[in-house]
Every structure is written in structure tokens, then in C-alpha cells.
Structure 1
Amino acid sequence: MSPSFSTSSTAARTRALFETTKRVLAQSINDGLVDATIEPFPTSSKPQCVILRGKEDVGILPYARVELNGVRVTGFLRPDDLQLPVQIEHATGGLQDEVDPGTICQIVCLWQTERVKSEESLVREVRNSAENQDKWLEMEKGLPRLSLRSPLIDWERSCILGHPTHPLHRTLLAQPPLKPIDAAELPTLLDPEVSFISVPRTSLHVTGPFEQLIKPLFDKLDVFEPSSERIIVPCFSRQLPSIRAHFSDVIHIKSVEHCAQAHISMRTVSIRPELGFTPHLKLSLNCQITSGPRTITPWTALAGPVVTQFLKKLLPPDLWVYGEIASITGSQTDFDRARHLTCIIRENLENKAEQENVALIPATGLYQKPFGDDRTYAEILFELDTLDRKRDWFRHYTANLLRALLPPLASHGIGLESHSQNIVVRVHLKTKEIVGFAVRDFGGVRLHRPSLQRAGCDLSSVPPGGPTITDDLHSVWCKVHHSLLQVHLGHLLYMLGLEPNGGWPVVRDEIERALKPIENEGARKLYAYFMKRTMQFKCFMIMRLKGFIVMSTIANTSKYYERELPNIVLRD
């Protein structure tokens, strides 16, 4: 059944559907699920199209960059390079226009030699993504036009299209026993109701001064703990059924509406300024957002404060850190149960930024476009109205970012998950110059054990069995290549129109400049690794079809399915 869009215009429905469909098509090719060629468009005035296995075709922009062997696609294809129409050729002849991502997904699955039960789930997930995308496009119309003076929370709300390449870019599915979430309810996730529950102290594991730090919020909201043998924990009201399913003796104290504002991730919130509580709270949410449930494992909760100490010690002083300074999570040995009740207290750097007269903008905000404008915020804020200005600005951005992130990777094996949602840009309000960056969210950080031990770091307090600490240095480098180069810088240069206009040579130059001063074997090997002829790319659709999730809660494994493709960094 095709998705239902009851309130949108035909044009808006088509755009929402195609935002997901083009990701399904591109990812099917990138995952190797289908063969594709670029050939003249058989039924349109468009100059060329991508043909999938001879039975589907979709338009492609003439300036698209993708590696080819003859006419066969062999490299990474960007969804945004695809354009309507999408046409299906029937076995009996004739072409049919089709824009429903579920139908396209079903066809791709039918072509596979091995059929799996998860096909139906994947079809449901991509259709859910399109349904939610339609609602996001509707909400976009009411967003303010942003400036350097806009508060951080407004920038958090500016990300309308979600992940730039993932087919589940806007998927949001509540997991049982939570009630299903309709697309019309998305605004309630952006301004969630927060509940405060009392749980026996023996059922929880506390790291850092959690109770001391959270007390000012409780005092402001008149939330009081009835017993010293219990702890009050904030949670999403929506999450309560999951908590009660995995924790006994939970007492509901109070629920408060309109006290929190969700960030891009949906599970991290800022408390409204009038309540006078500045730290951010990261809360478990048993909803599939993109590829996996957004509950928070004890590994992440317990490791956060420890990782914060390592990062503040070893990262360059000019790279600000959103420290995870305290946490609380379930004490069960079964982490699949414990993860349903977790709260991490994270530092808020807005006061520090105000003192230094800088704006804080999540990097993903720079390539968003305000409603009704075809320019990115980067182009608008920094007056990037020519290719030369775009290249110069991008070089400055890239140089500063790589100088902050690559030396710690080369010297200490610190692999930050530096995609554009986790990196916050610091921009001077007067000069409009990018003066630095800040890093946040440490669940995806990978740390190389031998390198950290050589730096004198004591790893004994990091919980065993989690994915954060690894002995595999190449896995750390690979993750940074994906998050920093493929996703962050790759999409930014693409959105600035620099993929066919010298963007990747800038990246290669600045990688060399960031690593050359280090002059050690680690830096030389890292540079050689980043310049390999091929590189692993994540296969998002295969991971879903194979039942993989982002991180296994059962064993110390990151369950990725990856494929070697021509290294995107080597593009002209």
C-alpha cells in the first residue's frame, strides 16, 4: 500500500516521496544490490539517465560525478544527482512512472537471488520515511530564517531532509510497547513532555555527580524524592511503557509539558531557558530513528564521563568538547533491558560562546536551505556568491577542521564520529570568521587502546565489552574516513557545487597539511590509508535486509556491512 499524504499538495507529496526514492535508488547501486549504467534517456529530453538492470531508469544531472567503467557505474552515486522521472519498464513492454519508494524497494528486493523476511520491514521503513518527510516539509514553512544571532536550538530545528544518503533518512517508528507515532505527531517529539520517575537506587548505575547536577532542575519544577533509597530520573513521557516493561517498582512523580526542546538527534534536549537549567539531557527513546533504536546502552552512559576526560586531555585546546559529565542507567546485567532508562548530562557551551562573541552552528545547518531559497546557509551567511569565494571559504573551513581532528587521530588513535551532526562550528559574530569547532556525542567515538595507553591513559574504568575501545587501528581510521570525509566534508562541498569544481583537491591538500607537521610514522600511515585507491562504504540497505543494526547490544561488535568502492577523496 502506498503512503497516505492527506494534507499536502501534489508537488509536496512528490518531493517527499522522491527524497526517499532517490536515496533508495542510489543506495541500491552503492550497496551492489543492482547493476547500473548511465546512458541516453530513452523517453525524455533529459541528456542522460541511470538504468538499473535494464528495467528501471531515473534522470541524472549532467554535472554529476561518479566513477564509471565504460557506462557501468562503479563508484559512489549521490542521491541528489538523481532527478525525476523514475520509470519502470514492464516485462510485457511499456513504461510506468513511479515515485513511491516502497514500490522501488520491492522491485530491488525481487531482483535478489536470496529473499529475506526483512524485505517487508524495509519497505515499511522507507514508506514511513517518506510520510515523515512530507510532514517535515510542511513544518519547514513555519521555520524562521536564521542568522548568526539565531539561538542554537533554532539551528537544531533547521535540518529538514535528514541524512543526505540514507534511505531511512526520516524514518521514525516507535518500538513496542510504545504507542505508534503518526507523522502528524512529529511536533510533539520536538517539544516533548518530560516525566520524572522514582526508581530504587539498587536498580541504577550512577556515574559522576548526577544527583547534584540535576537537583537545580528538580527544585525549579518542585520535584522531590520521597526516600534516600530511591533516585529520581528524568525521561520522555513517551518512553514510560518501555521503562515499566524492564524496571520494577517505578513510581511516577510528575510529568511536565513544554519544558524541553529536542535537538537534531531527537533524544537530546535543551531545557527551556526560563527554567534556569543549562546542561543538555540525553534520554533513551525506544524509537527507530534512521537505522536503529535510540535507546542508550550502559556502555555509552558509563563511558561518557571517562571518554570526556581523555578528550579534554588529548584534544587540541581550541577544539571545544561538549563534556558528558554524569549519567544514570539501568544496573541490569542484560544491557538490552538496562538501556531503556538512561539519562546523560552534557555540558552546554552557549554561555562560553557568548563570552567569546561567537555563534554556535551544527555543521549540518550550514548546508540547509531556508524555505523558498535555493542557497545554502553557508552561501547566505558568508556571502559565497562565486565559485572562487566558495573554494576559498571551503579551504579555510576544511583546514581548520582537519587541523583539529587529524593530529589526535594520528598520534593518539582518537577517532571522533565527526559527521556534521556531531560537529558544531564556532563563528565570530563580528568578523564572520570560522574560529574553531566543538565536538559532541561520544557513543560513536572509537579509541585505539595501545595508542591511548602509550599516552598514559588509564582505561580500567571504561566498561568492558563495549565498542568504544578497540585494538584495531584501521577500524578507527575507517570510521573517521566515513564520518569526516565521506559524509561531512563530502556533502558540504557537494552542496556548495564544488564536487565538479575543485572541492576534493582542496580536501587532499588540507589532509596533507594537517598531517605533515606531525612527522611520525602514524601520520604517514594515516595519510596513506586515506589516499587508498578504494575505501569501504557503508551498505545501509544491506544492513537492514540482513537484520544488522548500528551497534549490537549483545557483544562488542559494530555490525556494519561495507563494500569497497573507489575512494571518493581521490576525485578530481
Structure 2
Amino acid sequence: MSSGYSLPPAEHAAFAVTSRLLSCLVTEGLLRAFYVPIDSDAASGALVVLSTHLMSEHPVIDRALRPRDVFAIVPLRHAPMTKGSTHKQGQAVGLVDPLDMLPQVYELSEVAPTDDKNDALKSAILSRLTPPPWEFGRYTSLSDALEPVRLWNKFVEGLLLDQTLRETIEKELRSSLNWQREAFEHPPRCPSLSSPAIEWEQSLVAGHPTHPMHRARSMASVPSSYDWYHPRIRFACVPRSKLHISGDFEQKMRGLVESTAAKVGKSLPTDADIVFVPVHEQQISNILQKFDDVSILDSEISVGALAQSSIRTVIVPDMPGVAFKLAVGVKISSSLRTISHFTADFGPRFSEQIVPKLVINPDILKVELEPASAVYRGDPDTVKHLTAVLREEYHPREGECLIVCAALLEMGHEGLQPGVSAIEHILNLDTPDKKAAFLDRYIRLACEALIPPLLYNGVSFEAHAQNVLARFDTTSGELLGFVVRDLGGLRIHAPTLRESTGTDFQFLPGHCIETATLEETYPKFYHTLFHNHLQRLIRILGMHHNGLGWEMLRTHLQNVIPVDHPLRKAWLAPENAFVPGKCLLRMRLQGVYRDMVFNPFPNLIQYSPERA
């Protein structure tokens, strides 16, 4: 998901990481930036990102800006979303997306590069950065600055940041760069409407659209050649008294283990107090190190699995209809992919007590339930390494296919034209009218499916593109509805939930899912559905900068949200031109994962070209 498909894989990967890093730095307000229009057929203008030390200066910069004040310069296809203020340096930028950027990143230089094929574009940029207010002296050229790690170190030079954290983030950026290069060098083929859902899960090329560590995978004991999509699932023997078990977890796992052992002619422990817990093969060393009373069954008593897009959730052909969400001590996108005791406790109870009572249209939205789980009892920071959740997989009906939405938004598949997304390819969306018709239906169904539980039950699903699956008619290609999964990332206002369902549902003390007010459920929903999910679809179908996609969204929100509901004001009222935006990089700098960090972002819902 990048505009750099004209570049070789290594440079393309560098741009993919760098563009995300710059997007976060600017949009999250970690660095200031101005948009400067230029006279060029190649770009509408330039994003001039200012250096770290200028964050401490007065909001209105009234002095000349010199070379050391400029962090990076990026040519843009279209104007970014601004903060609504114009300065002598340009328009203050509020939100810039990687897809806004052309695949070049520059720094000021005293030395002109030789044989520069982008000379005309660079000249157009420099011709607008003249005194006043720009005073660059001998720095009259632009040099390439695609390397993300160097830009990261340049950014943190001016910060009081713990050295260990600084080095850790640098390693994560390097990992993201390496894995992204691998994906660009060996891209998957694009599946079709007749492909099984798991092929779509494993067809991601770039993954998260804005996270700088979007492709990072870090686990010290695992070789870089390990195939995360095809792991083996082993089984731990855990004393029943040491586990908190929900649902029919024990019975299901015993049945799977007994049939597996019988196939290979192996005997099982005879201790009746043992419960078999599935574990990822790469998690075994962590488990044996942390849990003295846990053993692992013989390696022959194991099952092959296919990982979904999240890597830690797998399906097992020997147990169809069930997905295993397993703790794995691997960092993906800078977060450790373990499973908390909160998640293990919450999913089965919420699935049984609440999901059947939610205000949902079952024709257009299905919820994948989490009926069973097991988690070791004890210190939360330890037990998260030995947790398993069983999820019921939605089974498509005859003539229906299921596709994880993140896969639809990907580009760069083997054999496809550069810049053509999977959704454009499989549905032959080759005209503006076709794209508009599809997008309008997609947005309408998404709003009608996912917003009612928020409105009437106080339940915010985590509706980013990896947690939502689209259901299509395999013959006509018509979008039928959605499936939402993963109950671990919800936000819920308990009083609204209890009143609307008539159920006195309880939360474990300290569980981040529970919010103090109804309004606190809104930012997570906005981030996942609008900022992460729909923004990407609107952009790849070419309906962001002309505002048409956001006009569609406003229309459908007005149809779904009652006039007197506070959600309508929060998203649609003119005075709410800015909304709380989730800050991925700020969270990483603060070392938090489950606790959200928000900063004001321009409200995408209200976007129009006139108000950019």
C-alpha cells in the first residue's frame, strides 16, 4: 500500500517505511510541517517537515528558517489536510497520509547530485523555498533521504529518550524494512472470489497502512527464514488447578489431542488432572522458562496450522470451523502478541451473554464468537504467555465468499499492474462509475452493520480492516455484508450496555475495554473504521482528494445516526473539525500498547476539497 511501485524492491521498502514514519511524525504532532504549493506537473506541492528543535518554539514562527530547521521535504500528489491556518511559510499540515506522497524524500544539500532524473521537480520545490521566510544559504540542492533508520535517529537527536527504547525502535524499523523488502521481492499472487478465505488472509503485501513498524517481526530465537504462515501447533500439559477455563475448552482440546496421538501411535499422560492447551511451536521455550509445572507433549503429537493475517490466530485443518488465538512472544508492529487474562475472561462471557442481545442486523453483520478459553492463573505479565482463545469461524453459505478487508486494500501482487488494488482487480472496478457504486454500497453497509451497536448498546467494535471480513456473492461480485471478529479490542460503556440488554454484565477490575463515559467509546471506533479502514478504501478508489468518498460517508452517517444522539454531534457538527486521533508512534515512544494515546486530528468525515 504505497505509491512507490516504480522503485526497485529495496528502495520501495525504504519508502514504505519512511512514508509511514513521516506520516506519523506530522499527523501526531511530533514534528511541525507546512504545505507549499509548487508549479510542477509531477506534484501539487511539497511537504516541508521541520526539525525536532522547532517543536519548542512559538506556535507562529516569525524568524527565517535555515537548513538545520528543515527535517525533510516530500513532494505530494495532492494537498494534505491542513489545520486551517496559513503562515508565511505555508499552510500548517494536520494530516498527511503515505498515499499523499510521491516516492521521493529529500533533505537540503550543499552538493548537487549528478545524473538526477528528478531535477525538474527539485527545481520546482526549491524555487518556492526562497527568502523570506526560507534562508538556505549554500544549501541550494536536494539529496535523497529514503533511509528510515537515519531519519529516525535524526528525529530522536533532539529528544530526551531512553537509549534502550531508542535502540529498540531502531531495530523494529530495520525489521519492518527487511520484511517489507522480502514481500516486495516475492509478492503473493492475488486470490479470486473463488479462493478460500485463508488464501486472502495470507495475501497481504504491506499490511498496516500508517504504522512505521508495519511489517516488523521480532523474536530473538526464531530464524528469519521461519514460515509464520505455516506453523505447527504443539500441546502443553497444564494442571487443571492452575488454569482458568471458560466454555468447553478442555473437552475440545482433549478430543483433538487424542485423535492426533492415535494417528501417530503415541500414548498420552494418564494424569486425569492434566488439561491440554494448544501452543504455538515458537512459544515453547517461553513457556518452559516461565512455567515450572508445565510440560510439552511429544513433537509428533502436533498439528499443522495456517496462520491468518494476525499471525497469532491460526486455523487447524484437523479441527474445521474453529480458529485458535494463541499467545506468541513475537513483536509484530512493535507490540508483543501475547494474550491477556482480560481477553481470555471476557470473550466467552460476552459471546454468550451479550452478543445475542446486541442491536445488529443479522443479514449484514455476523459476529464471530469466542466461546472458550484457557489462561494460566497468576501474575498477569507472566500468564499472558500461556493463554489460548477458541473462536468460532463464520462459514460462508453456498455461493458466498469471505475476504478479510485488509487484503482487499492491498496492492503489489504478482502479475497485477502497479498501483492496482486487489478489490479493483477482482471486481473489475475499471471506471469511476463502477468504483463509486461499489464504494457507496460498501460504506452504506458498513455504517448499517457496525454503528447500531455503538449507538444503542455502547459497544464499539474494533473495526479495522484486519478484524472485518467482507462477504461477496461469488457469481455477481455483489457485497452482501460483513463479519466482525476479535473481541479483545472493544470499547464498552457499561451503563448503556446493561440498560440496553437487560444484563448485568461485569468486567474484571482494570480492564481497558470499559469506558467511563459513552463518548469515550467513540475515538476507538473512529480510528479503526474511518481512519484505518474506510480512509484506505476511499483513497485507493480515487475518491479522497475530490471529497466524493467522504460525502458518501456523511450521507450514510446522517441516515444511521439519530439527530438527537451525541454521536451525530461528535462526528458531524461543524465545530468538531478535529477529533481525537490514535497516535501509534506516540504510544510507542511512551511504551504503551493497551492504553490509547490520542491527539487532535483533522476530522476526515468532514473532509471536502474546499476545506482541505
1:389-408 equivalence runs, <5 A: 389-408=434-453
Q: Which residue in 2 is equivalent to 1:62? A: 77
Q: Which residue in 1 is equivalent to 2:58? A: none
The reply on whether 1:82 has 2:121 as its aligned counterpart is no
How many Å separate the matches in 1 of 2:580 and 2:39? 33
The reply on whether 1:288 has 2:324 as its aligned counterpart is no
Q: What TM-score does the superposition give when structure 2 sets the normalisation length? A: 0.83
Q: Which residue in 2 is equivalent to 1:555? A: none
How many Å separate the matches in 2 of 1:349 and 1:472? 32
The reply on whether 1:131 has 2:185 as its aligned counterpart is no
Q: Which residue in 1 is equivalent to 2:62? A: none
213-222 vs 280-289, greater mean Cα deviation: 213-222
1:360 to 385, 399, 402: 402
1:63-462 equivalence runs, <5 A: 63-67=78-82, 69-70=85-86, 71-89=90-108, 93=139, 95-112=142-159, 114-117=160-163, 118-140=165-187, 143-174=188-219, 179-182=221-224, 184-185=225-226, 188-222=227-261, 224-255=268-299, 259-272=304-317, 275-309=318-352, 310-314=354-358, 315-318=360-363, 319-332=365-378, 334-350=379-395, 353-355=396-398, 357-369=399-411, 370-371=413-414, 372-373=416-417, 374-460=419-505, 462=507
How many Å separate the matches in 2 of 1:442 and 1:170? 23
User: Does the CA contact (< 8 Å) of 1:79 and 1:165 recur in 2?
Assistant: yes
User: Does the CA contact (< 8 Å) of 1:194 and 1:255 recur in 2?
Assistant: no
User: Does the CA contact (< 8 Å) of 2:461 and 2:489 recur in 1?
Assistant: yes
How many Å separate the matches in 2 of 1:385 and 1:164? 23
How many Å separate the matches in 1 of 2:555 and 2:9? 41
RMSD: 2.3
- Do the aligned partners of residues 147 and 510 (structure 1) sit closer, same or farther apart at CA in structure 2, a change above 3 Å counting? same
How many Å separate the matches in 1 of 2:41 and 2:538? 30
1:526-558 deviation digits (Å, cap 9, x = unpaired) = 11111222101122222212222x21xxxxxx2
1:526 to 567, 570, 580: 567
User: Does the CA contact (< 8 Å) of 2:45 and 2:78 recur in 1?
Assistant: no
How many Å separate the matches in 2 of 1:144 and 1:422? 22
- C-alpha deviation, 1:495, in angstroms: 1.1
- C-alpha deviation, 1:61, in angstroms: 3.2
Q: Which residue in 2 is equivalent to 1:34? A: 31
- C-alpha deviation, 1:135, in angstroms: 1.5
Q: Which residue in 1 is equivalent to 2:517? A: 472
Q: Which residue in 2 is equivalent to 1:23? A: 20
Q: Which residue in 1 is equivalent to 2:128? A: none
Q: Which residue in 1 is equivalent to 2:606? A: 570
The amino acid across from 2:183 in the alignment is W
How many Å separate the matches in 2 of 1:405 and 1:45? 39
The amino acid across from 2:473 in the alignment is H
- C-alpha deviation, 1:459, in angstroms: 4.2
User: Does the CA contact (< 8 Å) of 1:306 and 1:462 recur in 2?
Assistant: no
Q: What TM-score does the superposition give when structure 1 sets the normalisation length? A: 0.89
The reply on whether 1:48 has 2:90 as its aligned counterpart is no
- C-alpha deviation, 1:110, in angstroms: 1.9
Question: Secondary structure of 1:52's partner?
Answer: strand
User: Does the CA contact (< 8 Å) of 2:561 and 2:568 recur in 1?
Assistant: yes
How many Å separate the matches in 2 of 1:446 and 1:276? 31
- C-alpha deviation, 1:144, in angstroms: 3.3
- C-alpha deviation, 1:469, in angstroms: 2.4
1:487 to 532, 535, 556: 532
User: Does the CA contact (< 8 Å) of 2:253 and 2:278 recur in 1?
Assistant: no
How many residue pairs are counted as aligned between the two chains?
A: 536
Whichever of the two has the greater Rg, that structure is 2
Question: Secondary structure of 2:497's partner?
Answer: helix
User: Does the CA contact (< 8 Å) of 2:341 and 2:383 recur in 1?
Assistant: yes
How many Å separate the matches in 1 of 2:382 and 2:408? 38
- C-alpha deviation, 1:97, in angstroms: 1.7
Question: Secondary structure of 1:221's partner?
Answer: helix
- Do the aligned partners of residues 50 and 168 (structure 1) sit closer, same or farther apart at CA in structure 2, a change above 3 Å counting? same
How many Å separate the matches in 1 of 2:77 and 2:505? 55
- C-alpha deviation, 1:65, in angstroms: 3.7
- Percent identical pairs in the alignment equals 28
Question: Secondary structure of 2:309's partner?
Answer: coil
Structure 1 regions of 5+ residues with no counterpart? 1-8, 552-557
- C-alpha deviation, 1:245, in angstroms: 2.4
1:196-254 deviation digits (Å, cap 9, x = unpaired) = 12111122110001022223422331173421111111101110121122211222213
The amino acid across from 2:512 in the alignment is P
- Do the aligned partners of residues 395 and 42 (structure 1) sit closer, same or farther apart at CA in structure 2, a change above 3 Å counting? closer
How many Å separate the matches in 1 of 2:331 and 2:486? 18
The amino acid across from 2:597 in the alignment is Y
How many Å separate the matches in 1 of 2:403 and 2:350? 23
2:597 to 551, 561, 566: 561
User: Does the CA contact (< 8 Å) of 1:58 and 1:84 recur in 2?
Assistant: no
- C-alpha deviation, 1:156, in angstroms: 0.2
Question: Secondary structure of 2:94's partner?
Answer: coil
1:513 to 547, 553, 559: 559
User: Does the CA contact (< 8 Å) of 2:372 and 2:390 recur in 1?
Assistant: yes
The reply on whether 1:539 has 2:583 as its aligned counterpart is yes
Q: Which residue in 2 is equivalent to 1:554? A: none
Question: Secondary structure of 2:330's partner?
Answer: strand
223-232 vs 485-494, greater mean Cα deviation: 223-232
Question: Secondary structure of 1:443's partner?
Answer: helix
Question: Secondary structure of 1:144's partner?
Answer: coil
The amino acid across from 2:12 in the alignment is R
- C-alpha deviation, 1:73, in angstroms: 3.2
- C-alpha deviation, 1:461, in angstroms: 5.2
- C-alpha deviation, 1:155, in angstroms: 0.4
- Do the aligned partners of residues 470 and 225 (structure 1) sit closer, same or farther apart at CA in structure 2, a change above 3 Å counting? farther
How many Å separate the matches in 2 of 1:251 and 1:231? 11
User: Does the CA contact (< 8 Å) of 2:74 and 2:102 recur in 1?
Assistant: yes
The amino acid across from 2:568 in the alignment is Y
The amino acid across from 1:368 in the alignment is E
1:124-148 deviation digits (Å, cap 9, x = unpaired) = 21121111111222331xx333111
User: Does the CA contact (< 8 Å) of 1:225 and 1:231 recur in 2?
Assistant: no
How many Å separate the matches in 1 of 2:269 and 2:182? 40
